[in-house]
Amino acid sequence: MDDQFIEIYSGTSMDMNILNLCTSKMILEKYGKPDSIIDHAGFSTELYYEDKGFGFGFKNTDPIEMIYIMMFYPKNSIASTETGLLIDNSLTLQDVIDVYGIGRTTADSDGNASIGYPGIRYYGKELDFTQKHPSEVRIDTILILEG
């Protein structure tokens, strides 16, 4: 696990990278070549840094490649939010609800579900969201987006 501690600010930034102010070029200069470049259904591209536990997305139609979304994966890193929520690989839905309250839940076609708040969404497996107590639902991805 990377010893780096990432700071996340809902709707604003992650690891001192600011949404809609930094570009893919700036990310590449700061972190180097990503472990993977992921195409998201032709809509956007993610620069994924597995060892660091995060990714940065830009819209494929944007010639500047401005970062419009940031992904944090607690499997390999530790972060905290401006609310003081500690994000690591043991983060549960109950932890999120305890800090933010009840949010808006959604499900996608890939078997994932999320709970959202202004500028941030917490993802886990849809079956877990619907069939388990919130304290048993592991959060595996956090999206930072404009709030």
Give a yes or no: residue 58 inside a domain: yes
Q: Is residue 13 part of a domain?
A: yes
User: Is the domain of 108 the same as that of 65?
Assistant: no
Number of domains the chain contains = 2
How far apart (Å, rounded) are the C-alpha atoms in residues 32 and 39?
A: 19
- Nearest partner of 73 among 10, 137, 14, judged by Cα: 14
- 112 inside domain: yes
The verdict on 10 and 68 lying in the same domain is yes
Tell me, what's the pLDDT at 147? 72
Per-residue pLDDT of the chain (147 residues), as tens digits, is 445 689 999 999 999 999 999 999 999 999 999 999 999 999 999 999 999 999 999 999 999 999 999 999 998 789 999 999 999 999 999 999 999 999 999 998 889 999 999 999 999 999 999 999 999 999 999 999 987
Structural domain harbouring 121: 91-145
In a domain, 98, yes or no: yes
Does a structural domain hold residue 121? yes
Nearest-angstrom CA–CA distance, 28 and 13: 17
